[in-house]
Amino acid sequence: MRRKLFIIAVVVSLVLCGVFALLWPLNRTYHEYVTYGRPLDANGERWLFNLTADANGVALTCAFDHRTDPSYQPLLGWRFVARPYPSSRGPFKLPYQVSHSLLGFTYAHEPRRIGYQRIPVVTVNDRALTVPYWFLIVVTLLLPAIALHRWHRRRRRIGENRCLTCGYDLRASPERCPECGAIPLQP
């Protein structure tokens, strides 16, 4: 059962790696995001979550806002948007001041006051964390690399007549491993 779960995890990891490898060049021209907006509570406050794939990487944005008119309910539920960048604007950049940046990882935080279509927003507190594509590809390649290493080690041990469990030399005792007690595969 563990082996099957590991194989499923390796396949899912390879698929995710392929998705990130395709998104990296594609998102130089397209901006895609998924948004989830919760309804306003009795105080006119709510959370808004965005998962954005853009030219920089994958960004998770959380916004907490407080509106003066609780009857106005924009962006309720789930929404998916994919659109090309305007040619004059270039790749999408987060509309926040980046607080911290290292190796493509960015963290941005911006408290602000804005108005939207004559509906004043009292306060908006935005936080954004961007993870670069190169990191996502490396992380999703770890499980397939481990699987490839295990497969190579198993093939090598079978060819050298070694125990598959511990690697002990079985030329002197081919029926059972004296080190771990495992019974070797019969050719």
Query: pTM value?
Result: 0.71
Q: Is the pLDDT of residue 3 over 90?
A: no
Give residue 67's pLDDT.
66
Burial class, 43, CB count within 10 angstroms (exposed 0-12 / middle 13-18 / buried 19+) = exposed
* Residue 156 phi, psi (nearest 5): -65, -45
> Which amino acid is residue 62, in one-letter code?
C
Mean pLDDT, residues 73-97 taken together: 65
pLDDT digits (tens, 9 = 90+) for 115-165: 666 655 556 677 888 899 999 999 999 999 999 999 999 888 888 888 988
Give residue 119's pLDDT.
59
What is the sign, positive or negative, of the torsion defined by CA atoms of 143, 144, 150, 153?
negative
Go through the chain and tell me how many residues it has: 187
pLDDT digits (tens, 9 = 90+) for 58-84: 888 888 777 666 566 666 788 887 777
